[in-house]
């Protein structure tokens, strides 16, 4: 399934329990899985991402399986890009009606993946450590389950609008720095 078809498939499934409702959100979610603190069984993150049952992995002739395959391909593309040419990493951001880049959906997807395992992400979510700054360009766009900003001290008004318009330029580096932060523990040699 090409990415444009995957986007339409996601939009048709809004309200069916998927963590992603569009391609941008899916891309942010997958980027968090690639850059995150732990490796996960694909079924543990793809099923909530797409809102499909684990059994969907067993039926190769369904639209669900085609979507699973497309997600796996995107995962591999992001993994390869961050491993070989991180400076070329380009998130799939949405666009506003006026044509401006809208990173909000992508960031919401990234945060949805964090919520799968918040204890593993805790060092970057704590406000006490300097490491918490790694995710600022992403979390700036996110709200908690009560619709409150994740960064309560974030600017508002015109300053917030300016930051939202330019955040997309900092996000690729934030993803790579987050990946680098977790590499020593995520890829620790087995005993």
Threshold 0.85, pTM exceeds: yes
Q: How far apart are CA 19 and CA 45, in angstroms?
A: 10
What pLDDT is attached to residue 145?
A: 77
Confidence check: pLDDT of 190 > 60:
no
What pLDDT is attached to residue 155?
A: 52
Q: Can you tell me the mean pLDDT for 101-129?
A: 89
For 14-43, the pLDDT digits (tens) are: 888 899 999 999 999 999 999 999 999 999
From 103, 141, 117, 139, select the one nearest 27 (Cα to Cα). 103
- Contacting residues for 136 by C-beta, under 8 A, at least 6 apart: 151, 174
Q: How far apart are CA 127 and CA 137, in angstroms?
A: 15
For 49-95, the pLDDT digits (tens) are: 999 999 889 887 899 999 999 999 999 999 999 999 999 999 999 99
Helix, strand or coil, per DSSP, at residue 143: strand
Q: How far apart are CA 174 and CA 82, in angstroms?
A: 12
- Encode 127-150: b = buried (16+ Cβ within 10 Å), e = exposed: eeeeeeebbebbbbbbeeeeeeeb
Q: How far apart are CA 33 and CA 116, in angstroms?
A: 10
Q: How far apart are CA 15 and CA 118, in angstroms?
A: 24
In this structure, are residues 45 and 116 in contact, taking their beta carbons and an 8 Å threshold? yes
């Amino acid at each position: 399934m090409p990415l444009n078809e995957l986007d339409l498939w996601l939009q048709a499934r809004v309200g069916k329990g998927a963590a992603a409702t569009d391609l941008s959100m899916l891309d942010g979610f997958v980027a968090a899985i690639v850059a995150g603190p732990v490796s996960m069984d694909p079924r543990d993150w793809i099923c909530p991402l797409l809102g499909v049952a684990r059994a969907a992995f067993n039926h190769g002739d369904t639209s669900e399986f085609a979507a699973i395959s497309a997600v796996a391909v995107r995962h591999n593309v992001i993994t390869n890009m961050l491993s070989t040419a991180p400076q070329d990493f380009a998130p799939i951001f949405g666009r506003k009606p006026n044509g401006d880049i809208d990173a909000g959906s992508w960031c919401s997807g990234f945060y949805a993946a964090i919520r799968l395992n918040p204890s593993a992400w805790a060092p970057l979510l704590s406000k006490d450590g300097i490491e918490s700054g790694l995710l600022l360009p992403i979390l700036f766009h996110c709200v908690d389950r009560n619709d409150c900003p994740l960064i309560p001290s974030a600017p508002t008004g015109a300053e917030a609008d300016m930051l939202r318009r330019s955040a997309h330029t900092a996000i690729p580096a934030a993803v790579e720095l987050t990946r680098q932060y977790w590499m020593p523990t995520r890829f620790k040699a087995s005993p």
